Chains A and B, each alone.
Chain A
């Protein structure tokens, strides 16, 4: 007699929205946030990619879950060690050092959690230790650092000091191949997951790059993806995917089975409420409005719907988890983060 293993159940409850658009000055708020990571003590680190008009404010903002803005680091656009051009992703190691990729600088920069520059590595190229468009970055349980390169269509593995350990991948749509890959995650066993962006799938590898599984296909159905940008994995093996082109988040079980779909349900953040307290007339009109309107048919695409429906995800570019079972969904176009609690 065989017993079917029942995979654990998962429910995600919406908790809150944090953030507000920041109009180019440093300080409170977000400017086109692109990724998020939570330190061991629960501080939230948000990578602000910023549009060109606000590039002088490219930075990492640090805040608490209660929206206390704590501090920030990074010195805007430039070529210095603490500057960026097009930063993409960030990840913590076990010591709370923060690794940030930049796809224009073709490098990884490492800061401590207080924002002090520690080291950097990489330059443009296709050799070992060189990068062409580094995007996703993940740190394994042994502090190995995995960097996804979109244009070299590969993953490189490094020590936390940046010593090259190995690589895998090539351009294509076969197993272990990539088409402009983006985000990455590592699970507690050291397996590595890659958001294979233009192949509309998630690939899973062992820590040394052996292909293990592939989840998803192109489309808008359950378990299908449209340009997935980011992936996260929790201790039970649930796989969270930022299904960016479909403007939604999906959760798969460890075998790739579809489990949860989120479309977003943003409410007013603490900072938003502070804004409306100072702008009561605008708030009054807002309260009389229907923020989930019925739209004409020519606007019936996920992108257009999200551009007109403020509570929904718009540009959900990154998913991230903390140690308390919270899911953070980063929305580039809405300059905010929606927080969910797993139970």
Chain B
């Protein structure tokens, strides 16, 4: 099994998932790259921590009233899923169709939206736009319950075009108004009562009442509309059909997918990759799965240009470190304190800062968030009682005769945590650190002893490197 195959697979899993440990990587390499891409894309009925177990121990994750417990619930799913791309896609859509708790006070319905992302996240883009247009959390987030046949509210129509599908410059103000008219009557059940409760943040008398879509035909503007040059008695479905076939829409969604999965910045080669994704978009009937297949199998994605070309987002950082450590795999008291770390790093699940979602790339890193990232990942990866860390120690101990020189020790850890491409300067620091205590002798090791803790300390140090911050 060549190192380059392992490195390529590790790259795929960092992007299409939340990273993978060495056992997983070896299994994937054995079945081949394209077969692994298919496994990621075709996964269904993914196993993750079962809801009955979560609900038994966590009353807050059964009720899903508050933000902290609801974010922890989603984190449990991310750290335990056997279908990481499904969760990664849900995170992608959550960033694109950003819907925040602060206005809604309705975490249960936000998680229903996330469940919709899992269900439809790899399907056709027009169907996704239809789902999000019927999603009650989105409707309230953008005030569409106030979009009436006799008095339109443009919020949803505007953001649908600007932030969710085409991007600014590809439509007129008139198009926005006509779009809004087409979505009149698209609301949620008991909209007036639910609006009062959301506005007042009322949990009375018996906790929250979750939301569902409702279409009020009598409140829908059935008149003729002209949208992007086409005229008819359009309803929302018709508008979405027109949006989906626009070149600007293909450019928009393919670029967003490229930036989320391939590279923060689009260079010339990247632009060619996006052009191929657009071609697939139209050929496949707007299917996201097909577009991602084109991306993951592209020469660009597999090239060195795309490796470590993204800054890990906080969710990727937290979930990736936990999955590597193999920790938190059963319901545990205090789990919300773990998931809160994402928020401290700048990405609280279910609470994107605005309708634009999060600003990604280098903006994830500032002096405060960097400390949080390093501390969290270091703590997870230095716990030598965690099964994933134990597996790393076992592999190191099986190297040669179980006695590792400082260079072998440092290189081995860098390899097993990725492999991560570390610069020469970083490597020197790691080797020097290892050399302080001489060779690492794991032959007589006992669980948690000094030799094992040396490995934990090395992993903690690697988590603090610049390179570990990249995906």
**Which residues on A sit within 8 Å (CB–CB) of B51?**
303
Give A24-72 interface residues, CB cut-off 8 Å to B. Answer: 32, 34, 49-53
- B213 in contact with A21 (CB, 8 Å): no
Bound complex: CA of A291 vs CA of B210, how far in Å?
11
- A333 in contact with B333 (CB, 8 Å): no
Q: Is A85 an interface residue (CB 8 A)?
A: yes
Closest-by-CB residue of A relative to B199 is A282
Nearest chain A CB to B406 CB, angstrom units: 41
Contact among A51, A182, A266 with B69 in the assembled complex (CB-CB below 8 Å)? A51
- B62 in contact with A333 (CB, 8 Å): yes
Closest-by-CB residue of B relative to A49 is B59
Question: Number of contacts between A and B (CB, 8 Å)?
Answer: 120
Q: Is B1 an interface residue (CB 8 A)?
A: no
Contact among A19, A198, A288, A315 with B62 in the assembled complex (CB-CB below 8 Å)? A315
- A268 in contact with B205 (CB, 8 Å): yes
Decide if the interface of chain A is mainly helix, strand, loop or mixed.
loop
Q: Is A164 an interface residue (CB 8 A)?
A: no
Interface residues on B, range: 35 or more
Bound complex: CA of A197 vs CA of B50, how far in Å?
14
Closest-by-CB residue of B relative to A310 is B209
Closest-by-CB residue of A relative to B336 is A52
Q: Is A293 an interface residue (CB 8 A)?
A: yes
Nearest chain B CB to A173 CB, angstrom units: 16
Give B363-422 interface residues, CB cut-off 8 Å to A. Answer: none
- B190 in contact with A299 (CB, 8 Å): no
**Which residues on A sit within 8 Å (CB–CB) of B213?**
296
Bound complex: CA of A332 vs CA of B55, how far in Å?
10
**Which residues on B sit within 8 Å (CB–CB) of A51?**
58-60, 63, 65-66, 69
**Known contacts A52-B334, A290-B189; A227/B206 CB under 8 A:** no
Bound complex: CA of A254 vs CA of B108, how far in Å?
39
**Which residues on B sit within 8 Å (CB–CB) of A290?**
189-190
- A21 in contact with B59 (CB, 8 Å): no
Closest-by-CB residue of B relative to A227 is B52
- A272 in contact with B196 (CB, 8 Å): no
Contact among A32, A269, A272, A310 with B63 in the assembled complex (CB-CB below 8 Å)? A32
Closest-by-CB residue of B relative to A336 is B206
**Which residues on B sit within 8 Å (CB–CB) of A298?**
116, 119
**Which residues on B sit within 8 Å (CB–CB) of A86?**
57, 333
Bound complex: CA of A265 vs CA of B98, how far in Å?
36
Q: Is B197 an interface residue (CB 8 A)?
A: yes
**Which residues on B sit within 8 Å (CB–CB) of A334?**
206-207
- A266 in contact with B193 (CB, 8 Å): no
Q: Is B298 an interface residue (CB 8 A)?
A: no
- B196 in contact with A281 (CB, 8 Å): yes
Q: Is A323 an interface residue (CB 8 A)?
A: no
Give B36-82 interface residues, CB cut-off 8 Å to A. Answer: 51-52, 55-60, 62-66, 68-69
Q: Which 6 residue pairs of A and B lie closest in terms of their CB atoms, listed nearest first?
A: A272-B205, A51-B60, A32-B59, A285-B193, A289-B190, A307-B210
Q: Jot down 21 A-B pairs with beta carbons below 8 A, ordered by A.
A: A51-B58, A51-B66, A52-B334, A52-B336, A104-B333, A197-B56, A198-B52, A245-B52, A272-B206, A275-B204, A285-B196, A288-B192, A289-B192, A290-B189, A293-B189, A293-B190, A304-B112, A307-B209, A307-B210, A308-B189, A308-B211
* Interface, chain A (partner B; CB < 8 A): 19-21, 23, 32, 34, 49-53, 85-86, 103-104, 180, 182, 197-198, 227, 245, 266, 268-269, 271-272, 275-276, 279, 281-282, 285-286, 288-291, 293, 295-296, 298-299, 303-304, 307-308, 310, 314-315, 331-336
Known A53-B66, A285-B193, A333-B207; 13 more pairs at CB < 8 Å: A21-B205, A51-B66, A52-B334, A227-B56, A272-B205, A281-B196, A288-B192, A288-B193, A293-B190, A299-B212, A304-B210, A308-B189, A333-B62
